[in-house]
Chains A and B, each alone.
Chain A
Amino acid sequence: MIELYAITDDPTPPDPPLRAVESNGLTALCAPTGRREVTPDALWRHEEVVEALMESRDLLPVRFGTIVSDERAAARAVEQRKEELAASLERVRGAVELAVRAQRRDPEGDAPPESESGRKYMIAKARRLAAARPVHEPLAALARDSALQRGPELLHAAYLVDRDAVERFVSLVRRLQREHPELDILCTGPWPPYSFAEAGGRS
């Protein structure tokens, strides 16, 4: 069995044990695998592989745990979605993903309890969105694309950022933190473009 790590159109061969399975201009980067448990260590090891690949090529990360029987099956799977994959690759070319969360230091007023009435819930949600805007909008303006994600935080978002704009993005996060001492703003990355790999966002 082999595990898929990423899809690319870069012809550079990967270092063993990774292998390149080419199919009509697209390449699946994969490696032999056995079944294993989902542990934080296993997730980090997988991530390290994808990040090392990302250093020298544009790629679409494949969802963790995607395992096929052999290389032919890998080629077939890529072939089935080749137009969408090629379009997605074009969309993320030259960019990486940064994750940003913003929470109030004093969490009172955040994350309304589920039991509240629908109306109260909607009002609270609208307030949270309004509070997140001064952080989200400048970041989104610098990014190529952004995706708001569900979560208990005021802001939980992914930004697709040009590789050469990452430092500017991080500086902007730091500036926004200084301008908003009432918030905790946490930024991680650069990540492979996991949140932008599918045209419709996450499934």
Chain B
Amino acid sequence: MTTTIAEQEVALVDLVDRLLGGGVVIAGDITLSVADVDLVYVGLRALVSSVATAEEKNALPRMGSAL
């Protein structure tokens, strides 16, 4: 199964959303600085908005790169 660049971008955005915004929060040293996280988010949010226009109009939804 081939995935388009746009689909890979969507999967990456979904990944960042989950890894940095989801999951169990356990007491520990979170080593990520706010600046790191913001940097990743800003870069990826820009991708999200570009996905709609980049997406091939006839593309069916398919599974992302996970599993």
Contacts and interface: CB of A to CB of B under 8 A. Distances in A.
A184 B52 contact: yes
Interface in B21-67: 21-32, 36-37, 39-40, 48-49, 51-52, 55, 57, 59-67
B41 to A, nearest CB: 10
B32 A64 contact: yes
A61 to B, nearest CB: 5
A43 interface: yes
Interface in A42-56: 43-44, 46-47, 51
A130 B65 CA distance: 30
Interface residues of B, number: 42
Given A184-B52, A188-B66, A63 B25 contact: yes
20 contacts: A7-B24, A35-B31, A38-B32, A38-B39, A62-B23, A66-B23, A66-B28, A66-B30, A77-B28, A105-B52, A105-B57, A185-B61, A187-B61, A187-B63, A188-B63, A189-B67, A195-B18, A197-B22, A197-B23, A198-B25
Interface of A: 1, 4, 7, 35, 37-38, 40, 43-44, 46-47, 51, 60-69, 73-74, 77-78, 80-81, 85, 88, 97, 99, 101, 103, 105, 107, 149, 151-153, 170, 173-174, 177, 184-192, 194-195, 197-198, 202-203
